[in-house]
Amino acid sequence: MLSAHQLVILDRDGVINHDSDAYIKSLSEWVPLPGAIEAIAKLSRAGFTVAIATNQSGIARGFYDESTLQAMHDHLQSQVNAKGGQLAHIAYCPHGPDDHCDCRKPLPGLLAEIQEKLELESLEGSWMVGDSLRDLQAGEAVGCRPVLVKTGKGEKTLSRNIGLEKALVYRDLAEFADWLCDQQQIIPQP
């Protein structure tokens, strides 16, 4: 049975792929960050379960549709699979900031979806990796250990230094994956 300690939840834009203030609207705009696909595969091969929780308000704003988003996620899955890894689940919020949903981060609805999909009693002790404060807040609301990466909006988030008291900070997803896999070898998780 899956342990929450073996679960790593990732934000997408700015953590796995390049982010854009104009939104990632097509498969051609979806470009992985250096080392990110390999990092996901490394975590997966090391016995971690990897899931994604991503706000995708570009759908509500009419910039792209759910089939375009699915094409991006299928491409991501195939790239991870090609490196010997897998993604357990991709949860996304298609709503805009004024839609009053319960899934848009910083609310923890996407993480609750992951918890339900993976049949976990809780997410206490799992990892939430993001580049913005709202990613970390969503994770902390359900007991995840927060990790900030400096890619995407991470440097800007770090410079504000608000709400990061419990966060571990890494250059990018690859550096975090290396650290976590090294820790697992030193101290096996329960």
Q: Are 12 and 129 in contact (CB under 8 A)?
A: no
Q: Are 133 and 127 in contact (CB under 8 A)?
A: no
Q: In this structure, which amino acid lies at residue 182?
A: D
Q: Are 11 and 106 in contact (CB under 8 A)?
A: no
Closest alpha carbon to 67 in 102, 103, 31, 94: 94
CB atoms within 10 A of CB 161: 8
Q: Cite the beta strand spans of 150-187 per DSSP E.
A: 168-170
Residues designated as active site: 11, 13
